Every structure is written in C-alpha cells, then in structure tokens.
C-alpha cells in the first residue's frame, strides 16, 4: 500500500496555479499519479479536454514532466508511438541507463467514445504504457454533452430533462470490463476520494510491465452541479452506494479492493447533484428504483467475478 510519509517527501511534478475549477478532482488524479511514479521519469500525453486546457494555456504549463498534447481521439496512439520510439532507442544503446514510464490521459469523451479505437489498439498491441481515464461522465470541456459514460437519467445539454425526456436514456458503458477483456496485465477502477487505494493502483499499473488501464471517477463540480467543497465526499458516496465500485483485474483475476461496511441507497448519492434533481420530484421514484436495481445487479455480478458470491 502507498506510504504517505514517503510520498510527502517527493517533489511535486504537477504544479499549483493551473486553471481548473475550484473543487475539480482531475488535478488530484494527476497529482496522485505523479506521486505513484516516485522519482521515475514520466512522459505524459493528454487528449484535448478539460485537463489539457486548464494546465497548458499558452505560455504557461502546470506540468514538470515532458508533456504532449494530442488530438481528442488519439492520446493512446500518440503515447504508444513515443513508447515504441523509446524501445527503439534502448535497442540502439542510447537509453540503457534510463527507465521511463509512459502515461496517456483522457476524459470519458476522449476515452469511452472518440478515443476508444486508439485506446483499444494500443492495449491490444501490448505497449508498455498506462492509460488513465479521468471520468467526469460527460463532455465537460465543450458544454456538458452526454457521453457513453453518462449515467442513465443524468441531465446534460444533449440529454435534457423535460415533460417528454427523462435525461439520458441508457445506462453507461462498462469500459473497465471492456479493457479487462483485452487480456492486459492490469486494469482497475479508482477514485481520488480514496487516495491510498488509488495511488496503490497507479503504482501497480506503472510497474506491471505491460499495458494498463485505470478508470478514475472524477466528480465534476460544474457538470454534476454540487458545491465545490463536496467533491471528495460525493466520491466517497459513489463508492459506498456501489455506484462506482473499487476493484482491480490482475492478469485476468478480479479483486474487489474496497467493500462498504454499510451499502447506502443510491438516492444518498444522487440527491447531492443537480443533474439528478428531477428524480426527486413527484414521478421520479420509479427512475430511482430502476437505478438501484441496476447498481445492485452490477455489484452482484462483480462479486461473482471476484469469487465472492
């Protein structure tokens, strides 16, 4: 497990002064990722999105590592190319004494949707890299449009709520399981609210010796519409309701890394976010019940996969 005393001694490789919203959890994800890398050199590639925009507004940067801004759809392809070049240079004897890690970053829009093809290709080819999705469950940078990570009944600008429409009509894609199906060495779900769990997973991903994928739920103050000081608590509630279970898949073996002492009902999580306010008006009870049944079903499936029936 991650050691907080040792981590506190490390130099920060992601600086303050960036322009993320107050309460944004994406910078926390990156800080924990950099802590997990320790003193090992890291090359970072990031798709267009919130994180890229707020950390690299010309002529400033929050990154104290080599950083590559790629297009929306090809963060994984870009970093896989850099990792291949590194391996070539090592074969030529030019980097024999340097151990470098490679990380690709993308939001859920650039990962679940528009970047899925390049992500799947990079994982299938076996590049020694870590792909981290900071999943805020919509295209937040371009106006809060729905993605395939947006939860059912969530309100966005393209899945509006009204007398006819109930919000998004589909449950989210389970990308974590899709990546596990690629047969790669390491896959995990995490959340910055549980720092020890997340940093430990980043350490495993960075040192697994092959392609790794970490899906991190990143509560968004703007798109989810909650007070900025509640970001960490809402993340904990996502875990304690099993809306976002914490688990890892190591060489195909599932393991649940956190089990709530008391599994809370989903409305405890939903009611804190304005994107679900319509569910707490008369007539919304059935939608909440449907979400609860889905969450319960997914949790039971995960327990079976982990051998905990």
By DSSP bridging, strand 212-217 and strand 186-190 are: parallel
Residue 96 has pLDDT above 90, yes or no: no
Residue 1 has pLDDT above 80, yes or no: no
- When the pLDDT of each residue in the chain is averaged and rounded to a whole number, the result is 96
Output DSSP code: residue 105.
E
The predicted structure's pLDDT at residue 94? 87
CA-CA-CA-CA dihedral for 101, 107, 109, 110, to nearest 10? -30
Element (H, E) at 255: strand 253-256
The predicted structure's pLDDT at residue 167? 97
Residue 242 has pLDDT above 90, yes or no: yes
Under 8 Å between Cβ of 241 and 265: yes
Q: Residue 251 is encoded by which pair of tokens?
A: 């060489």
The strand order across the sheet containing 186-190 reads 67-70, 42-47, 101-107, 130-135, 212-217, 186-190, 247-250, 253-256
Give the separation between CA 142 and CA 265, rounded to whole angstroms.
Answer: 32
Question: Which pLDDT tens digit goes with each residue over 147-191?
Answer: 999 999 999 999 999 988 999 999 999 999 999 999 999 999 999
Q: Which residues, at least 6 apart from 106, have a Cβ–Cβ distance to it below 8 Å?
A: 46, 47, 49, 75, 76, 115, 119, 131, 132, 133, 134
Q: Residue 171 is encoded by which pair of tokens?
A: 């449950």
Question: Which pLDDT tens digit goes with each residue over 180-223?
Answer: 999 999 999 999 999 999 999 999 999 999 999 999 999 999 99
Q: What is the CATH number for 87?
A: 3.40.50.970
Q: Which residues, at least 6 apart from 226, have a Cβ–Cβ distance to it below 8 Å?
A: 219, 234, 272, 273, 274
The predicted structure's pLDDT at residue 130? 98
Give the separation between CA 182 and CA 174, rounded to whole angstroms.
Answer: 13
Give the separation between CA 225 and CA 220, rounded to whole angstroms.
Answer: 7
Q: Residue 88 is encoded by which pair of tokens?
A: 């070539």
> Cα 297 vs. chain centroid, distance in angstroms?
22
Percent of the chain past pLDDT 90, that is, above it, reads 92
Residue 4 has pLDDT above 90, yes or no: no
Q: Which residues, at least 6 apart from 43, have a Cβ–Cβ distance to it below 8 Å?
A: 65, 66, 68, 79, 82, 86, 100, 101, 102, 103
Q: Which of 149, 208, 153, 156 is nearest to 178 (CA)?
A: 149
Question: Which pLDDT tens digit goes with each residue over 254-305?
Answer: 999 999 999 999 999 999 999 999 999 999 999 999 999 999 999 999 999 9
Residue 2's pLDDT band (boundaries 50, 70, 90)? confident
Task: Give one DSSP letter per residue of 113-138, joined into a string.
Answer: ITTHHHHHHHHHHT-S-EEEEEE-SS
The predicted structure's pLDDT at residue 22? 92
Residue 5's pLDDT band (boundaries 50, 70, 90)? confident
Cis peptide before 59 (omega within 30 of 0): yes
Give the structural domain span for 18.
4-305
Question: Which pLDDT tens digit goes with each residue over 10-62?
Answer: 899 999 999 999 999 999 999 999 999 999 999 999 999 999 999 999 899 99
What's the structural domain count of the chain? Answer: 1
Residue 101 has pLDDT above 90, yes or no: yes
By DSSP bridging, strand 247-250 and strand 186-190 are: antiparallel
């Amino acid at each position: 497990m991650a050691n907080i005393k040792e981590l506190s001694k490390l130099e920060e490789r992601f600086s303050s002064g960036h322009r993320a919203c107050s309460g944004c959890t994406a910078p926390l994800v990156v800080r924990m990722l950099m802590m997990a890398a320790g003193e090992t050199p890291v090359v970072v590639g990031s798709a267009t999105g919130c994180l890229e925009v707020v950390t690299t507004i010309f002529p400033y940067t929050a990154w104290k590592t080599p950083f590559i801004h790629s297009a929306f759809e090809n963060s994984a392809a870009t970093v896989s190319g850099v990792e291949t070049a590194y391996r070539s240079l090592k074969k030529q004897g030019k980097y024999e004494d340097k151990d470098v890690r490679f990380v690709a970053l993308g939001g859920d829009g650039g990962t679940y949707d528009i970047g899925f093809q390049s992500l799947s290709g990079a994982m299938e080819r076996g590049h020694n890299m870590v792909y981290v999705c900071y999943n805020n469950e919509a295209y937040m940078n371009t106006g809060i449009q729905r993605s395939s990570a947006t939860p059912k009944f969530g309100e966005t600008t393209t899945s509006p709520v009204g007398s006819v429409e109930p919000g998004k009509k589909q449950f989210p894609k389970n990308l974590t399981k899709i990546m596990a199906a690629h047969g790669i060495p390491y896959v995990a779900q995490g959340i910055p609210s549980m720092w020890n769990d997340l940093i430990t997973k980043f350490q495993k991903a960075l040192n697994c010796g092959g392609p790794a994928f970490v899906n991190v739920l990143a509560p968004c103050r703007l798109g989810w519409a909650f007070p900025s000081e509640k970001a960490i608590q809402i993340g904990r509630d996502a875990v304690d309701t099993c809306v976002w279970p914490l688990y890892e898949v190591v060489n195909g073996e599932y393991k649940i890394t956190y089990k709530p002492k008391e599994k809370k009902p989903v409305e405890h999580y939903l009611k804190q976010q304005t994107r679900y306010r319509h569910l707490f008006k008369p007539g919304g009870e059935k939608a909440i019940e449907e979400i609860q049944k889905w969450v319960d079903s997914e949790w039971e499936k995960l327990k079976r996969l982990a051998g905990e029936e």
